[in-house]
Chain A
Amino acid sequence: MTLRIQVQQQDFSVASEYELLRQEARCGAVVTFSGLVRELTETQLLRMTLEHYPGMTEQALIQIATEAQQRWQLGTVTIIHRVGTLLPNEQIVFVGVASAHRAAGFAAAEFIMDYLKNRAPFWKKEHTSNGEYWVAAKVSDHVALQRWE
């Protein structure tokens, strides 16, 4: 059971992360998720800035990954989240889960993203052609947690 948690400004390579996740022979499945900066429909997104709470962020991600490892039989769990300035289509977040069989991997990756969206102290600000706006939290993200309770 290995945890790989990183909060960083620099980009990450899904290929390199996947190679790290597929090293365990007892794991027959690797599930990965990447979240990207999406362009806006009504205005032009110039860039996004991601603020976080240094120290708490890392602890929150470790807690979420550890809880996933307690719920499902998992191998390595990787969570990488970028902070700072990001341009449209850049990578924001990576979640990778190695597991013996696919069901645990799919479930754990969704669980981690649902909790990350609600509990990890990150805040997005969109810089658009019409001005700067803090992204509002979505009710749907909050509702998504209920299925794990």
Chain B
Amino acid sequence: MSFLRLSGVSKKHGRQSILRDIDLSVSEGEFVAIVGYSGQGKTTLMSLIAGLARPDEGSITLEGNPVTGPGPERGLVFQNYSLLPWLSVRENIALAVDTVFPAWSAAERDAHVDKYIAMVKLSHAADRRPRQLSGGMRQRVSVARTLAMQPRILLLDEPLSALDALTRAKLQDEFADIHRTTGATVVLITNSVDEALLLADRVIPLTLGPGATLAAPVAVDLPRPRDRLALNHDPRFKRLRADITATLLGFNAARTTTLTRKLVLPDILPEDLDQPRVNRPPRRLSEEKREIVSVS
């Protein structure tokens, strides 16, 4: 039995189909990456799993329970962090902890918050506001907030797309660590094939919209822990990357359309240079009192 299952899910925006026939099943502890182009419905797919939007057709179940709305058991890490700017790092995480575990004592909750701040290595910045943090630190806070809710499944919606390459690499390693140590089930949405291959057990390309759907999954059988430097020389990694990239580029090639456009000449006629050069208005074809007969 699969842990998270989407069957026949489709979503329209008005009359425009965004996603159609999405079938996905994720088993417990699995790390699945969905790769696709920007603006093709990746974030919509994540909103559907998170319960922030409802599918028009099909069903989504987590551990057999249908998903009908958002909830803390599906921990969503937002693409743009969504930290509350008027709360400090600690308060942002505490808001989540206090809401999700109201039965705990205050001391237990404090300890829980501290534990997750330490997990993302931000203990020194616990009392700062999000404004005073770098992008990478903000994303770490966002991850800590989500993990502190102890979700059954972690949903990462392009979590690193707004970060510089170095911070990105660092956080990718942290995600891999979190997955290894907690055994969490993770669905990652990304536009980076390398990132997907570095982290996931299975990579699923998303076809182009409108009406995007999931293509055939690619199993990533690279041994863990994966070292990004060693991977670059691993022939299996190279082959997988080439395959997935080719699949993604293939979507694009299939969609290439030809455009025919009628070119219109400017409405002006050449000046007669035999005439004396006085200030006269340009001659226009539309103003000439004559008929043009084309002889074929």
- Mutual binders A and B: no
